[in-house]
Amino acid sequence: MSSYSNLFSPVKIGNVEIKNRIAMMPMGVFSPRLMNQDGSYTKDGADYYIERAKGGTGLIITGLVPLPPGHLPSIVNNVETYVENQRYLVDGCHKYGAKVFIQISALSGRSSTNPADPAPSALPNVFDPSQNNREMTVEEIHKYVEMFAAGAKAAKDAGIDGVEIHAVHEGYLLDQFTIAAFNHRTDEYGGSLENRLRFPTEIVQAIKKACGEDYPVSVRYSVYSKTKGFNRGALPGEDYEEFGRDIEESKIVARKLQEAGYDMLDCDNGTYDAWYWPHPPVYMPAACNLEDVAELRKAVTIPVICAGRFDDPALADQAIADGKIDMMGMGRPLLADPDMANKWMEDREDDIRPCISCHFGCLARIFQIDYATRGTKDISCALNPRCAMENHYNITPAQKKKKVAVVGGGIAGMEAARVCALRGHAVDLYEKTGVLGGVFIPAAAFSFKEHDRRLIEWYRKQMKDTEVNVLLNTEFVKEDAAKYDEVFVATGATENKLKTQGFDSPQVRYAVDVLMNQDIHDQNVVIVGGGLTGCEIAYDLAMKNCKVTIVEQLPEILNVEGLAKANYDMLRDIIDYYDVKVMKNSTVEKYEDGKVSVLETTYNTPNINERAITISLQGIHKIVKEIPADTVVVSVGYTENQELYHAIQAENVHLIGDADHPANLMAAIWGAYTTALEV
């Protein structure tokens, strides 16, 4: 029996009983391999959800299905095929005792990447503020209301247990209608709060009329907007004036939504202008929305879900017992590990692979184009390549059991060892140091990377559980290769060093050393390299009362492929908040007498319309600036260690992880996983 009796108690949403308090949060699954044009899920799409139902999740809320017909799938494109196609999803989830709600979306208004999409008023587009989205017509609003009712009816006819309206949340279209700063209309859909709420009110009323009063309708809801202005979010704990919805108005809105007929509020915080609230990166505190959602719950009697970096069952259990929330919502944690609920139920928390809030495999990925299909890429997870590939990437027994060596006990090496061992191979894992984890140990050393440290522990436990023969303090020499059928070379990468004048000083240190020792505080620090690690070190040191300058040779910092907007925006806001100075187009010339000489080059920059920004253009200027630095921290990337690989290169030798090419954790894990499936 589980230790979490409240979490594993049933709850009712309208008339529908959910077997426990664990809800899978909606996460957009609209790539062509997973969603049909009629808005239903393909077999692969449905099986991705069914896997999470099988893992013990009580309520599956699917990712948004678009409402307005267009180039994306839409739930009203063909309701007949929709009803037919969704039955597989419904039956599959019901088989495991889970209930399914689908989320129907009015889409994005000014938060769309397409400035032609309608918004409540002509408003600056989030992604290209130089353009305004146009005002939606009243006829369009009425049409949307009708389509919501038709879509919900199709869902009901397909046997789906309820619908969720997307969204008075996150700065999407309906949220923009409800917020005065975004809604400047003078008709019956603008002005007073009643008018601003008219659109979501008409939607729920139309659905109830079409589907019956007892058909559950949830609404995705942001308690606070956490927004300072267009494109400006408020960091946790920051003193700011709310531009969007504050808690006083939020309580009134929530009550009115309940009165209008909504049966549940699925809550967190934020808008697209403060995207790190609804999509909390690793820099956000755990359970970042819990106290705000708890405050809101005081205003309503319908069930309330809370989501956002919320994967602590003890905290959730207590919050339910205290009446702060009714259900815990988890999105990404269930991508990383679909069996969380069952593992909690069985008191096997150590077996859970923890989401590290990186967004590389999920949020950032679903907006990338897959050039093979010309559609967007599938949702997945950096740590779990099998996510949304349940019918393809299974770990199956190897036809021939082999003797396998894995050289290097970093994450890529451990992933290859884990998969090979699960497939029945006999695996020796060579690690020349005394500890498993490799370069991920310093990478996980930041105070805010507790989940990364948990991931290392998870891998170490996997080595034991899968009976990998771990050989610590053991160098693999090239002659050893002959003893094995297959060899994985996961020898990692070495930090790049700079030969700049004065960089032989002990005051000049490298990222790994700084992260491992955590001994810098209350100093002037210059960081050379404004990539992800450099910027994260800047954040870490700024929190430790350092005055930090980042020197970046490119025109921008954070040139990181696949970095999600939420993570990028939050780091940029953090850098501003802590007054970290960023010198772009700059290189370090020397370090001498406690000062770094930085050569900064400025170019002529056009205005946002690509025209002259001044009357007389400035041309190229090179200026040397001297920046005081008690310590210089160098973070300028890695070079792969391929010596062993070249010495033993053969068909049965596989180069993986940073040793192949230094990249992010996702590349390391996916490369190791897919290679290990093939041997």
Ligand X SMILES: Cc1cc2nc3c(=O)[nH]c(=O)nc-3n(C[C@H](O)[C@H](O)[C@H](O)COP(=O)(O)O)c2cc1C
Contact residues toward ligand X (CB under 6 A) are: 25-28, 63-64, 103, 166-167, 220, 268, 278-280, 307-310, 330-333, 362-363, 366, 379
Integer Cα distance of 418 and 398 in angstroms: 13
Greatest Cα pair distance, the chain, in angstroms, is 80
Among ligand X, ligand SF4, none, partner that 408 touches (CB below 5 to 8 angstroms by kind): none
Check residue 355 for interaction with ligand SF4 (CB under 6 A). Answer: yes
Taking CB under 6 A as the criterion, the residue among 343, 359, 377, 418 binding ligand SF4 is 359
Among ligand X, ligand SF4, none, partner that 280 touches (CB below 5 to 8 angstroms by kind): ligand X
Residue 403 three-state SS: strand
From 195-203, 211-219, 356-364, 432-440, give the range in contact with ligand SF4 by CB under 6 A.
Answer: 356-364
| Residues 248-287 within binding reach of ligand SF4 (CB under 6 A) | none
Least distance from ligand SF4 to the Cβ atom of residue 96, Å: 21
Using the minimum distance from each CB to ligand X, give the nearer residue, 283 or 638. Answer: 283
Integer Cα distance of 669 and 679 in angstroms: 16
Using the minimum distance from each CB to ligand SF4, give the nearer residue, 7 or 336. Answer: 336
Among ligand SF4, ligand X, none, partner that 528 touches (CB below 5 to 8 angstroms by kind): none
Least distance from ligand SF4 to the Cβ atom of residue 54, Å: 18
User: Annotated catalytic residue: which of 49, 172, 459, 673?
Assistant: 172
Using the minimum distance from each CB to ligand SF4, give the nearer residue, 196 or 332. Answer: 332
DSSP labels, 417-454: HHHHHHTT-EEEEE-SSSSSBTTHHHHT-STT-HHHHH
Check residue 74 for interaction with ligand SF4 (CB under 6 A). Answer: no
Instruction: Name the token pair of 633.
Output: 């921290």
Least distance from ligand X to the Cβ atom of residue 524, Å: 36
Among ligand X, ligand SF4, none, partner that 509 touches (CB below 5 to 8 angstroms by kind): none
Residue 373 CB contacts under 8 Å (≥ 6 apart), including other chains: 31, 32, 33
Using the minimum distance from each CB to ligand SF4, give the nearer residue, 383 or 570. Answer: 383
Does residue 351 contact residue 14 with C-beta atoms inside 8 Å? Answer: no
Half-sphere exposure of 571 (CA within 13 A, CB side): 26
| Residues 640-679 within binding reach of ligand SF4 (CB under 6 A) | none
Integer Cα distance of 630 and 290 in angstroms: 40
Reported as type and span, the H/E element at residue 514 is helix 511-517
Residue 198 three-state SS: helix
Integer Cα distance of 46 and 398 in angstroms: 27
Integer Cα distance of 338 and 377 in angstroms: 20
Taking CB under 6 A as the criterion, the residue among 265, 336, 489, 514 binding ligand SF4 is 336
Using the minimum distance from each CB to ligand SF4, give the nearer residue, 383 or 493. Answer: 383
Going 580 to 583 to 587 to 593, the CA torsion angle's sign is negative
Least distance from ligand X to the Cβ atom of residue 570, Å: 13
How many residues are listed for the chain in this entry? 679
Among ligand X, ligand SF4, none, partner that 361 touches (CB below 5 to 8 angstroms by kind): ligand SF4
| Residues 604-643 within binding reach of ligand SF4 (CB under 6 A) | none
Residue 671 CB contacts under 8 Å (≥ 6 apart), including other chains: 412, 656, 657, 660
From 124-132, 359-367, 417-425, 575-583, give the range in contact with ligand SF4 by CB under 6 A.
Answer: 359-367
Check residue 362 for interaction with ligand SF4 (CB under 6 A). Answer: yes
Residue 669 three-state SS: helix
Least distance from ligand X to the Cβ atom of residue 363, Å: 4
Check residue 381 for interaction with ligand SF4 (CB under 6 A). Answer: yes
Residue 19 CB contacts under 8 Å (≥ 6 apart), including other chains: 10, 58, 97, 98, 99
Q: What are phi and psi of 429, to 5 degrees?
A: -110, 115
Q: How many residues bind ligand SF4 (CB under 6 A)?
A: 14
Among ligand SF4, ligand X, none, partner that 304 touches (CB below 5 to 8 angstroms by kind): none
From 138-146, 316-324, 350-358, 527-535, give the range in contact with ligand SF4 by CB under 6 A.
Answer: 350-358
Among ligand SF4, ligand X, none, partner that 200 touches (CB below 5 to 8 angstroms by kind): none
Using the minimum distance from each CB to ligand SF4, give the nearer residue, 211 or 388. Answer: 388
Least distance from ligand SF4 to the Cβ atom of residue 514, Å: 24
Among ligand X, ligand SF4, none, partner that 385 touches (CB below 5 to 8 angstroms by kind): none
The 586-592 sheet, strands edge to edge:
586-592, 595-602, 621-628
Integer Cα distance of 8 and 204 in angstroms: 30
Using the minimum distance from each CB to ligand SF4, give the nearer residue, 162 or 361. Answer: 361
Least distance from ligand X to the Cβ atom of residue 264, Å: 13
Using the minimum distance from each CB to ligand X, give the nearer residue, 330 or 632. Answer: 330
Among ligand SF4, ligand X, none, partner that 653 touches (CB below 5 to 8 angstroms by kind): none
Least distance from ligand X to the Cβ atom of residue 214, Å: 24
Least distance from ligand X to the Cβ atom of residue 309, Å: 5
Residue type, 106: A
Least distance from ligand X to the Cβ atom of residue 514, Å: 29
Taking CB under 6 A as the criterion, the residue among 57, 78, 271, 357 binding ligand SF4 is 357
Using the minimum distance from each CB to ligand SF4, give the nearer residue, 160 or 362. Answer: 362
DSSP labels, 326-370: SEEEESHHHHH-TTHHHHHHTT-GGG-----S--TTTTTGGGSB-
Closest residue (Cβ) to ligand X?
331
Check residue 463 for interaction with ligand SF4 (CB under 6 A). Answer: no
Least distance from ligand X to the Cβ atom of residue 586, Å: 35
Cα-to-chain-centroid distance, residue 312: 17
Among ligand X, ligand SF4, none, partner that 166 touches (CB below 5 to 8 angstroms by kind): ligand X
Taking CB under 6 A as the criterion, the residue among 23, 145, 352, 356 binding ligand SF4 is 356
Integer Cα distance of 296 and 313 in angstroms: 21
DSSP labels, 275-335: TTTTS--TTSPTTTTHHHHHHHHTT-SS-EEE-SS---HHHHHHHHHTTS-SEEEESHHHH
Integer Cα distance of 458 and 452 in angstroms: 10
Using the minimum distance from each CB to ligand X, give the nearer residue, 341 or 679. Answer: 341
Least distance from ligand X to the Cβ atom of residue 312, Å: 11
Is position 172 annotated as part of the catalytic site? Answer: yes
Using the minimum distance from each CB to ligand X, give the nearer residue, 99 or 332. Answer: 332
Instruction: Name the token pair of 500.
Output: 């700049």
Beta bridge partners of 653: 487
Using the minimum distance from each CB to ligand X, give the nearer residue, 330 or 679. Answer: 330
From 30-38, 174-182, 257-265, 379-387, give the range in contact with ligand SF4 by CB under 6 A.
Answer: 379-387
Cα-to-chain-centroid distance, residue 506: 38
Cα separations (Å) of 106 from 18, 118, 597? 26, 10, 53
Instruction: Name the token pair of 2.
Output: 């589980």
DSSP labels, 19-41: SSSEEEPP----STTTB-TTS-B
Q: Which residues are catalytic?
A: 172
Summarize as ranges the residues that interact with ligand SF4 (CB under 6 A): 332, 335-336, 355-362, 381-383
